[in-house]
Structure 1
Amino acid sequence: MPDLANERVDHRFKALPPDAEGLTVGELSAQRRNLFTGGFTTPVLALSAESVEHNLRLLETYAERHGLAFAPHGKTSMAPQLFDRQLEHGAWGITAAVPHQARVYRAHGIARIFLANELVDPVALRWLAAELDADPGFRFVCYVDSVRGVELMDEALRAAGAGRRVDVVVELGAGEGARTGVRTETGCAAVADAVAATTTLRLVGVAGYEGEVPQADSERVRAWLHRLTALAVDWGKAGRFADADEIVVSAGGSAWFDTVAEVFAELPVFSLPVLKLLRSGAYVSHDSGHYRKLTPFNRVPEEGALEPAFRLWSQVVSRPTPEQAFTNAGKRDAAHDLHLPEAQVVRDGRTGEIRAAEGVTVTGLSDQHAWVRTEEGADLEVGDWIGMGLSHPCTSFDKWQLIPLVEADGTVVDYIRTFF
């Protein structure tokens, strides 16, 4: 397993102090530098240590309370240090989307991987077969959503001489116009029949992603989830899971996991144990835009509340008019696929004092500039730092390879390494 603490700090990592070059990440962490006075350059993305810990504990207790297993989607962060924290907080395993992500997970010792995609690449299947054969303790589950996909998997695994069968779940699509997945129960049965005809695959359950339900609301999401659980019940009665050790029923993005918990709680007793597997991933860092509005905790406040953990600090480099300013962070640094960054606080370039960003609004992003509108009376000068909240964690992590983990007083206690 790679030792991330012994990786050397150099020019590859944005915003880190130039005088830290040549130190290991562990050595730099031990110095406990201050984000604002410790030599970091702008723009710099920071992750709140307190908010990350709060969010980890909240989902751990939520899953326990609702009888759910939890395999958070690792593609949100691709950060093995966060995977370890999630596993410490009760996660069953980590979810991946593509073979590269699964390889990163295995390189860092992840023992259980749920691949939320059909895997038909023969090179990736050859790698998977070797991983399964080499490690009897490695558990892997992936989607199947077509007869042709099953044929391709079987062909590649037989060619690889796979000694262990690959566990698969049939993906039920979230409706017409949704993303992947079989659209009808009849189609699902045809895929299950194709799996049963192979010697390389083992059907262990059903799964899908309710976030792709067209025009999603609680009623539509609940209706689709009932289709998914009914499929599991019918197939359990029909003996389709006879070869499985447990039945996997899985769903759950970061917007509707309350509805997933409600419907999964209605599942009857099966002849085999049932793994009710939630896959929400964006909760670790949460955000200040998309997921802040959609989090199930807004609908069920007694369950608690997630905290946005990201803040992008960017410096004002131009103030051409009283109504306009520009900072040095742009599309290369800030998530912008769902919402623009939100100006939250200003750190005074003269005094270091931090205040609310009143009258300051980010209106656009260029490659390396944020366009900022300032209202009358907004106190903003060249040299000030603007702390911005970001929307969509998945496209925040992927822009930064080494992210300072920062306590409330600005002390950097660790650096989170990402592998996109």
Structure 2
Amino acid sequence: MPAYDAAAVAALADQQVSWQDKALPPTFWGRTVADVLAGKPRLSQLPTPLMTLSAPGLRHNVDTLATWCVRHGVELAPHGKTTMAPALWAMQLDAGAWGITLANGFQLGVARAYGVQRVLIANAVVSPLQLRWIADELAADPGFEVMVWADSVRTVEIMEEARSAHVGPDARPLDVMVEVGGIGGRTGARDPETALAVGEAIAAASTLRLAGVAGYEGAIGHGVDEANLEEVRAYLRDLVAVHHRLRELYPSDVVPVVSAGGSQYFEQVAKVLASLVGEGARVVLRSGAYITHDDGLYRRVSPLGENPRTDGEQLVAAMHGWMRITSQPEPGLAIFDAGRRDFPFDQDWPEPQLIRPRSAGSPVLEASGMTVTNLNDQHGFLRFEDVPVVIGDELRVGLSHPCTAFDKWGLIPVIDDPDADDPVVTDLVRTFF
């Protein structure tokens, strides 16, 4: 069965763009995405502020991690909440992703609208409304698979109560994974005894099925020095120990899934968990931010970033911001037309990189000696020394943390070459937040 509804994804090109799409100028409003792209628009035809994606960068990153996972014997269910873009999910699934990871019921609704067939919800679902809806989806589509998490017996009781009042005895069970946490982490059972009790409760429930063990090592590690990496590995070994204690509880028809791995420590996950594949388990990474990488947080900490900790090609930054200088109120200070509502700011300020040609035939300039020092809602502050800027200049900036970049844009242009004088727009990616 196909991993998603290709026709539904293709139909995104038939949607009209409008005043609601801040990435596009009024001259494009009322036209379909396909019509806009047929004209091969240039970056110079789009307004600022703007976020773009790099077509070759996306392709490189998707292929790089897909190849890495095959080489290391693990599966990938990329975290779709990073982009909330079905077209990009399709790209990842086409490259061999085992499924898509999501965080909540709303995001699952988006996935179902585009026919995604295998979803891992990296969270507990305790809303009876959502549990009943998921039960209806499982009943309506025999090919649909979904897994949810539980870190307490109470969570299991809520799921069982909501489902048993809604489904019959022959209904497909809901697959549930025991979530293992760590002291100082986020959610997850804090000790093996609690985790085992959760697994026993799932196994004893009439409408649930024990499907595996999961956790998030990113809530445990806080750096990439050896001491932090060992802390991550210790947590992952605890995850393995819980899986081993639950083995006798797994149903005979279940291939248990053991899942961890964001975009910061996936090499550690493979190092500790990959051996479980030989014992009959399926090891699934959930990395999401890798698809665009970045020019900040993940450039520093990714195993395939600027300081690689594993084999394989390095990931590349595939998202950029574009902004225009609108004011020079003081010497050495420029104000630009982008702010917190346009670019991510939770990890690092945008990084000035290039100045687009100021006139026909002039070259792209490096934005050296420039620093973004603050962002307001709709304004940014740029300090400059080496290369003077003037009102009207358009700058490209590198961005940090994809997970807080995509949610600011409902439609994102994809360009053929972010380093070109005037890149061509090759696609428009629709997001759903």
Q: Please indicate the TM-score interval, normalised by the length of the shorter structure.
A: over 0.9
- Which residues of 2 match residues 99-138 of structure 1 at below 5 A? 99-138=105-144
| Superposition deviation, residue 159 in structure 1 | 1.9
Give the SS at the match of 2:146: strand
The secondary structure found in structure 2 opposite 1:325 is strand
Query: Sequence identity of aligned pairs in percent?
Result: 45
Matches within 5 A, 1:4-83: 4-36=12-44, 39-83=45-89
1:150 lines up with 2:156 in the alignment: yes
Contact 1:95-1:114 at 8 Å conserved across structures = yes
- Counting only pairs closer than 5 Å after superposition, residues 16-415 of structure 1 correspond to structure 2 as 16-36=24-44, 39-161=45-167, 163-173=171-181, 175-213=182-220, 215=222, 217-236=228-247, 239-267=248-276, 269-270=278-279, 273-297=280-304, 298-300=307-309, 302-351=311-360, 353-375=363-385, 377-408=386-417, 409=420, 410-415=423-428
Is residue 2:431 matched to residue 1:418?
yes
Q: What is the deviation of 1:348?
A: 3.5
Deviations 1:321-361 (Å, cap 9, x if unpaired)?
22100100001100001111111111143346321101111
Q: Partners in 2 of 1:268 and 1:105 — Cα distance?
A: 28
- Name structure 1 gaps, 5 residues minimum: none
Is 2:203–2:250's contact at 8 Å kept on the other side of the alignment?
Answer: no
Deviations 1:364-417 (A, max 9, x none): 001111100011x42211000010111010110000000000001401011010
What is the aligned length? 412
Distance 1:269 1:52 in 2: 32
Aligned to 2:3: none
Q: 1:26 to 1:260 in 2, by over 3 A?
A: same
TM-score (norm 1): 0.95
What letter corresponds to residue 430 of structure 2 in structure 1?
R
Contact kept, 8 Å, 1:202 with 1:243, in 2: the verdict is no
Q: Pick closer, same or farther for the CA change 1:398–1:268 going to 2, 3 Å.
A: closer
- Structure 1 SS opposite 2:426: strand
Q: Deviations over 1:207-266 (max 9, x none)?
A: 100101154511000111111112212322xx1113442011000000000000111123
SS of the residue corresponding to residue 265 of structure 1 reads helix
Q: Deviation digits for residues 26-67 of structure 1, max 9, x if unmatched?
A: 11112111112xx21111111000100000100110010011
Question: Structure 1 CA distance, aligned partners of 2:78 and 2:274?
Answer: 19
Shift of 1:161: 1.5
Mapped to 2, the partners of 1:198 and 1:235 lie a distance apart of 15
Please give the alpha-carbon distance, in whole angstroms, between the structure 2 residues aligned to 1:240 and 1:123: 28
Alpha-carbon RMSD: 1.3
Aligned partners of 1:203 and 1:243 also within 8 Å: no
* Per-residue Cα deviation, 1:251-309 (whole angstroms, up to 9, x for no partner): 00000000001111233743xx3211010000111111111101012333542100001
> Is contact 1:46–1:311 with CA below 8 Å preserved after alignment?
yes
1:2-36 Cα distance to aligned partner (Å, 9 max, x none): 62111111100013021111110111112111112
Q: Contact between 1:176 and 1:214, CA under 8 Å: does it hold in 2?
A: no
What do the CA deviations read for 1:56-102 (whole angstroms, capped 9, x no partner)? 10011001001111100000000000000000100011000011001
Aligned counterparts of 2:277 and 2:116: Cα–Cα separation in 1 = 31
